[in-house]
Structure 1
């Protein structure tokens, strides 16, 4: 795993003021993580420089801030297969609405359960999101 470059930390500390309206220093940084950025081959060739490098600032319930790559945000905003419900809505049902399992999400938190074929089509995807959230948030999900 690559180390986070000092100039990246400096850039974030300098620019975070615009989101928080509060200056931060190196003493406020409790950890860093830098991953390899996966790129999709569009088949058009050319440089990767033009691919978007936008980020979002997210604040957790305990007040910690994270900088998240736009690609992760886009993934969360993807719609479930053939449905008008996003991955983020499923995660939100678990983390904020008290959903207990896939059936709870499909039947009570969304309207997907109203049509049996719709619920069947996305059940595997809802299960996948539940597993991701359970691991990330250390949740126990009732099956």
Structure 2
């Protein structure tokens, strides 16, 4: 008796109550255990999602599926603004953080705090090291030794 390998249907094929074909466009992006396809199907519909995925090159489909899931969940959470509402929220949040940073910087400078100076640049092996002190050059010439012939003559 031949054993037939049982492949569970992807979330989309389960939703459409059909057998999942081996080349199913949904299977790589919405596995059987995925609950996210319910949101995507509710907002976009199975046929539209299939058309969107098929219109894209294979290497772009995963990102598109993730984007569809994100946008569908955002639309369910906020039916009027969807993901645009979330983007606006994040923009306002960043603006608030920027204001707080500016206020903190103003308080720090008003307190007279000076940040420490950065360390001097490192010397590399190919640079000639600087001499820290110049050697002392005597201002008078050293005494000269007299030779024996000079002593006899003098």
Question: Into which bin does the TM-score normalised by the smaller protein fall?
Answer: under 0.3
**Structure with greater strand percent:** 1
Determine which structure has more spread, i.e. the larger CA radius of gyration.
2
Q: TM-score, normalised by structure 2?
A: 0.22
Q: TM-score, normalised by structure 1?
A: 0.23
